[in-house]
Chains A and B, each alone.
Chain A
Amino acid sequence: MAEVTLKNLSKKFGKDIGVEDISMTIPDGAFVVLLGPTGAGKTTTLRLISGLEKADSGEIWVDGRNVGKETPAQRDMAMVFQQYSLYPHLTVRDNLAFPLKSPILRAPDDEIERKVSEVAEVLQISHKLDNKATALSGGEMQRVSIGRALVRDPTIYLMDEPLSSLDAKLRTDLRVELKRIHASLGATLLYVTHDQIEAMTMATHVGVLNEGRLVQFGSPRDIYENPNSIYVAGRLGLPRINILPVDVFGNAPSGTTHIGMRPEHVSQGDGLAADVQRIEHLGDQTRLHLIVKGHAITTIANPTVIYEPGTPIKIMPKDPLFFDVNGNRIR
């Protein structure tokens, strides 16, 4: 495994910006998740690193080596795509062995067998090794396609939304599994997703992308607790952070135009009168939708209070975040 460093990477598609001036270091053994909405440049970054796209400017360094001019094969990275692409006529075993038989690797038979059974074990598909690839469920197929990346010992694993075509239950299981694989192999992973839950739960580092730029890079906890802009604050956390004009509650450092309150940072008891619009019982938590001076605020209900639409309550921000006119954090 290897450390991968990006320096001022830019790529345009005609007039459209793919990525702009991205610099970051993926430390050896890290699980880095790139998070952003459709069109933010996540997949482009991944494809630039793998060599499937060529950068307009900037450098990509792998273990101290500039790989900008190398072919994808020379870079020796393993990629997992959103849509599993397996050879339908081959068994699971042959699908897994395939990358090892490539003309570049040409691994000996006994090593192939050892590696395939090892990976099958990790992915819990040992009992399906002799099945045809088409005789598998969706989750099993995706595990095989992840397995095809894992049999190799590449410099880095690149994964492009590998879980997004799976159903919710399976995603939850595979999340834990991927984390376990990462920990047990000590692998370096770059993982792209628009799903904040995946980013929060799996990553050692999260990179938040917006319109082709890397706007914040840090641990999930750091990004959740210390976002540097309104945009980043809105990317993590469900229900979403409440953003209000500063004059609603007042009492903010100069230059503040908006404050941000996570739903759990709305304290009840004192403060401004709020109208309860709707109560959402989600089982593990109850959400309140409030209106304060014409602004919608979502918060978490206090379990000891019984709410009805119209129940008068008073609220105040607790440790709010302050943002300036450009949406940047004021600390």
Chain B
Amino acid sequence: MAKIEIKNIRKDFGDFNAVKESSFTIEDGEFFMLLGPSGCGKTTTLRMIAGLELPTSGEIYLDGKEISQLPPSKRDIAFVFQMFALYPHMNVRKNLSYPLVSQGMPRAQVKAKVEEVAGILGILDILNRPVGGLSGGDRQRVALGRAIVRDPKAFMMDEPLGALDAEFREHMSQELRALHDRMGATTVYVTHDQLEAMQMGDKIVVMNNAVVEQFGTPQQIYDKPATMFVADFIGSPSMNFLRFDGALDEGATSVDLNGQTLAVPKQLQGASGKLVFGVRPEHVMLSDSGNYRGEVLATEYLGTTQIITLDTPNGELKARIDSAQLAAIGEKVALNFQAPKITLFDETTGLALRSSLNHEVLAHG
């Protein structure tokens, strides 16, 4: 198994810059997510690790060995595509055996290995079936099996669940994660689905416009976003941005929004101009007392919680509150914010301002 280090890799397609100098490290045994919207460079990054694209510059280390210019076959990395590519004329067993037979592995050993892997995936009973008649889930399991039989150092997966419907996708994502927990193989997984990334990943790299925006654990990225893009992309509903003009000094513990003083984590850098007060919906509380007020525009029931959309002097805001709490459309309510969870941003650069909340996370990424 393997540790993968990415150092300043860059990829240009002609004049188009697909990935700007990016660096991050994937530790041995991690389930690592590359997350971002379409066209952000996440798949290109994955393909460079697998050797399907060669980087324009930069280095990739697999267990300390530089592999960025090696062909895919010399890297010992298995790739699972979104569209499970199986040989339609072969049965399941032959599909699974193929990568081993082509390596020249003895027949008895192939049989043992295929059965071991089929056991892990729970597909022993369909080994002799043609792949044509299989359900989507079983096809996906066979495709995974073909990657697993080779005992590669790492797995690369490019939206492997993207083609499945929502319900089945949830089921397969749990199965995939449980499989990873049993095998402990380093896995790099590309997705544009933030919930999938949060649910499955040990670490996440968030990419946008060819740039790594942030790199960290799901909790770090959610609680301490480094940029407005990350804050907006992660979480549903996403972080609220209350925009204001103002200035604050280093060491400040509050900001002034429309004449109301709101507490924030201790700021470690001063800033002025167009600023943004970032607050997650679950850190907004509706109450009777308080001077920062908003009007309820809409309520959305979600079972245990509900989402309240409010109109505030600084724009629309969403709050996630207990569904037992009453909120009527048109009602004017006071809003309180959980001060220790607030992130301030500079709107011009889109970057988070350093504070006692996030300085450790921002320092390394």
Contact = CB atoms under 8 A, between A and B. Distances in A.
Interface in B330-352: none
B223 A283 contact: yes
Contacts of A169: 238
Interface stretch (B108-116, B139-147, B301-309): B301-309
Interface string B278-308: 0011100000000000000110111110010
B301 A176 contact: no
Interface string A152-171: 00000000000000001100
B74 to A, nearest CB: 35
Contacts of A281: 198, 217-219, 222
Interface in B213-239: 217-219, 222-223, 234-238
B309 A201 contact: no
A238 to B, nearest CB: 8
B298 A280 contact: no
A54 interface: no
A282 B199 contact: yes
A282 B219 CA distance: 7
A175 B301 CA distance: 12
Interface in A214-246: 220-221, 224, 236-238, 240
Contacts, number: 73
Contact of B236 (A172, A180, A264): A172
A172 B237 contact: yes
A264 B219 contact: no
A195 interface: yes
Interface residues of B, number: 36
Contact of B280 (A197, A224, A236, A283): A283
A282 B195 contact: yes
Interface string A172-185: 10011001100100
A270 interface: no
Interface string A19-39: 000000000000000000110
A211 B297 CA distance: 37
Contacts of A282: 195, 198-199, 218, 222
Interface in A127-169: 168-169
Nearest to B199: A280
Contacts of B181: 277-278
The 4 closest A-B pairs by CB, nearest first: A283-B222, A201-B300, A281-B219, A284-B282
5 contacts: A37-B167, A195-B166, A236-B303, A237-B303, A283-B280
Interface of B: 165-167, 170, 177, 181, 193-195, 198-199, 217-219, 222-223, 234-238, 280-282, 297-298, 300-304, 307, 309, 320, 323, 329
Given A168-B194, A175-B300, 5 more contacts: A168-B193, A168-B236, A194-B167, A224-B303, A283-B219
Interface of A: 37-38, 168-169, 172, 175-176, 179-180, 183, 194-195, 197, 200-202, 220-221, 224, 236-238, 240, 262, 264, 277-278, 280-284
